[in-house]
Structure 1
């Protein structure tokens, strides 16, 4: 059932997915714990998270080159994360609307690409819905951010924190599933 080459490659490199999840959970906890932080600090903290997430994703993609499977979604998600992080670092005085649209666009792109990956793995992966669910959560979050950009700053920070927590937990659960499969198949 789990003999798909991409699943095996993901299983061998499950730690990078776990690190993405841990980074998301840490960001979420910080955002919820300090909802009154200044927008500039939020931009920088989110930028650090997006950059680290992008780097981990690019490392995972580079590590899986030998799988002979298309891994372009990982390359694209990683590049978008690094780019979003750099934009946040170099222009931290973005307006609240600009920040919301930046995060919303990143969440939409990440979500769509994760849903695509889940569909591609559905025949060879028993619990691909973890990946699909994290993608759907990202898409929903992005749509909500675009539909209601005028929300209060504290509410926005809490929503961003909650999104990061749920997204991170789902990635950690996926990583644990990958580790279990990798250990079992080894």
Structure 2
């Protein structure tokens, strides 16, 4: 960044109360960034544990949603029929209880569903590549992506734990990148605040 650009940004921060307040909160971005980086690193080293923990949190959310749905049955106006609301409450409570009691099993079921989706999707891609091979070039890439999807689906089906680990790694990478962005943004805002004094 050249000096004129730096001056214009600082000038904008000084002139705008909103930007000034945002810049003063630079330390919040740094804290968020540190938490995200720590979570990301933990997820990279313990990916399956992170996915199971997140599944448990999902179960708690479903349980709370079910409780509120039951309360709504007996209070207030109903935008949908009581029958549908009761069904939703029962489904939320059942899913929440099962997930909280055994998050690993729920996560494993999700991985098996993902495995089935990958295998079916892979077969579809291969069939599509064979069908259009006379009309487009590079159809082998589509077929290759289908083969990779099938291989990944079979791996997940044979070892749901491996599927959990892969999902946890992706979550860890995403959290790590998010944390780094937050840290960079926070320290840049800190520079602007320091330069505006």
Q: TM-score normalised to the size of structure 1?
A: 0.43
Give the structure with higher Rg (CA): 2
